[in-house]
Amino acid sequence: MGPEPILSVEAVSKGFAVDGRAVQALQRVSLHACEGEFVTLIGPSGCGKSTLLNLIAGLLEPDEGQIAFRGDGQATRLGRIGYMPQKDLLLPWRRLLDNIVLGPEIQRRDRQAARRQALELLPLFGLEGFQESYPFELSGGMRQRAALLRTLLCEQEVVLLDEPLGALDALTRRTMRDWLLQIWERFRQTMIFVTHDVDEAVLLSDRIYVFTPRPGRIVHTLPIPLPRPRSEAMVAEPTFIACRDEILHALGLGNG
């Protein structure tokens, strides 16, 4: 038997009423993440991936099934799981450093200690010298790095990342995913990551779950056997290419 999952989703379904009609977002989804794993969810737009993250975070509750945190299906998840949505959501009236320490402030932790910790980490996140800048003065990549630092400073054991690189241009995105690998190697928090980019999924992940179109179901699970640490150079390796082709096939995008 493998390690006990820190988070498990068992046969979870969720539907909504939209304009007076029932829409099923998720149907009997089961997955898990162990401590320190990088797990990725991939699938077509509208298949319920963001809904699943909202359920895991405790912002919603499933209609059926169970979500367990450290084996406890009754455990409160809201406030115990870090969540970085698609948009950076930096507050425009706050300077960068004040945005970054917002999470610890809400947690009522020592504000000065949080500021010192944030200042120490700014160089690692490529933000040194910008602590007094407002969000509008920063590039898209810098804003995303600031949002991730804010999320990690909350020091939760599980971090949900909902397409954090999706709005970036291709060159910035490639640089950012290499940087994200380095950050994950440093902090080793359990990550559950949503993307539409197959190469990104294979490069970052320990395991990938492939979703069907709505209602979202898991149609394929793929452990990624690539060694760590990883780098962009791996995209040309036969193992990487085989994993990418398997994911594309599961998505219905492969040849044959």
For the ranges 6-20, 167-181, 184-198, the lowest mean pLDDT is seen at 167-181
What is the average pLDDT value for the chain, to the nearest integer?
Answer: 89
Q: Tell me: the pLDDT tens digits for 214-239?
A: 999 999 999 999 999 998 889 999 99
Asked whether residue 133 is domain-assigned, the answer is no
- CATH number at 222 reads 3.40.50.300
Give all strands of the β-sheet with 21-34 in edge-to-edge order. Answer: 21-34, 5-18, 64-69
Q: Can you give the C-alpha Rg of the chain in angstroms?
A: 18
In a domain, 144, yes or no: no
Query: Which helix (H) or strand (E) segment is 52 a member of?
Result: helix 49-57
> Cβ contacts of residue 109 below 8 Å, gap of 6+?
none
pLDDT score recorded for residue 107: 82
Instruction: Take residue 240 and report the two structure tokens written for it.
Output: 């990487």
Residue 173 lies in a domain: no
What is the pTM for the complete model shown?
0.90
**Domain membership flag for residue 1:** yes
Flag whether 184 is in a domain: no
Q: Can you name the residues that pair with 21 across neighbouring β-strands? A: 18
Angle between helices 140-153 and 170-187 (to 10 degrees): 20
Neighbouring CB atoms inside 10 A of 236's CB total: 8
Residue 73 to residue 209: CA distance in whole angstroms: 21
Strand partners, 191: 38, 159
Total structural domains within the chain: 1
Q: How far apart are CA 189 and CA 211, in angstroms?
A: 24
Three-state secondary structure call for residue 173: helix
CA distance 146 to 229: 23
Q: Supply the range of the domain harboring residue 58.
A: 1-80+190-256
In a domain, 102, yes or no: no
Q: Is the pLDDT of residue 201 over 90?
A: yes
In tens, the pLDDT along 140-159 reads 888 988 998 898 888 888 99
- The answer to whether residue 204 sits within a structural domain is yes
